[in-house]
Chains A and B, each alone.
Chain A
């Protein structure tokens, strides 16, 4: 069964304190793994797509990496404006469907 598990559920960081969010997945062939950011009361906003193990992508203070079983979203020297819920999703290779994790709620304190 295709599924996605994110950890931790919530993470509190001090400004400048780097950390990582985890997304573990099981899928019958991976077409893509996606990271989204969701602010309260808004729809998810696309961050990254990763397609194969070993791939890495960066955007400002965020870096996403992918292995055959999990993905990490590394946050370097976070700022309060990075506070949001970060969602991970996978798309199986043979289907036009997406499976989302329940997200990690990040709170960065000044």
Chain B
């Protein structure tokens, strides 16, 4: 298994440009997450999804959009990039465990380092 993969690894954008960060997992996990990590800080949740077709906002959703058309893929869209979106972006996935209990253990991708100039 490749686990969680993210592309690209690095990207430089100009202010006002748009781009999509790709995330894919091959573990058949229902739950997927997007985080951003600023230098010296913890991870902040941007959006998450509990299954194909279902997404919800996290702590810092402004300036971002997501979609989840398949179990495997969870792309993050940046519209009108701003310098404040310079960060490292991590995608993660986790499994559900039968019934209502959610294991919570997340598996992270290697990250995308984005700079907006």
Contact = CB atoms under 8 A, between A and B. Distances in A.
B43 A87 contact: yes
Interface extent on A, as a size class? 20 to 34
Contacts of B2: none
Given A42-B111, A98-B33, A49 B42 contact: no
The A interface, classified by DSSP as helix, strand, loop or mixed, is strand
Interface string A22-45: 000000000110101000011111
Interface string B17-43: 000000000000001010100001111
Contacts, number: 62
Contacts of B48: 96-97
A45 B3 CA distance: 12
A91 to B, nearest CB: 5
Nearest to A4: B42
Interface in A86-110: 87, 89, 91, 96-103
* Size class of the contact patch on chain B: 20 to 34
Interface string B81-117: 0000000001010000000001111111111000000
Given A42-B111, A43-B111, A44-B90, A98 B41 contact: no
24 contacts: A31-B104, A36-B108, A42-B110, A42-B111, A43-B92, A43-B111, A44-B108, A46-B106, A46-B107, A49-B103, A87-B43, A91-B102, A96-B31, A96-B50, A96-B56, A96-B102, A97-B45, A98-B43, A98-B45, A99-B59, A100-B35, A100-B44, A101-B42, A103-B42
Given A36-B108, A97-B58, 19 more contacts: A9-B40, A31-B102, A31-B104, A34-B104, A43-B90, A43-B111, A45-B108, A46-B106, A46-B107, A49-B103, A49-B105, A87-B43, A91-B102, A96-B56, A98-B45, A99-B59, A100-B44, A101-B42, A103-B42
Interface of A: 4, 6, 9, 31-32, 34, 36, 41-46, 49, 87, 89, 91, 96-103
* Closest 4 pairs (CB-CB, A-B): A43-B108, A100-B42, A100-B43, A102-B42
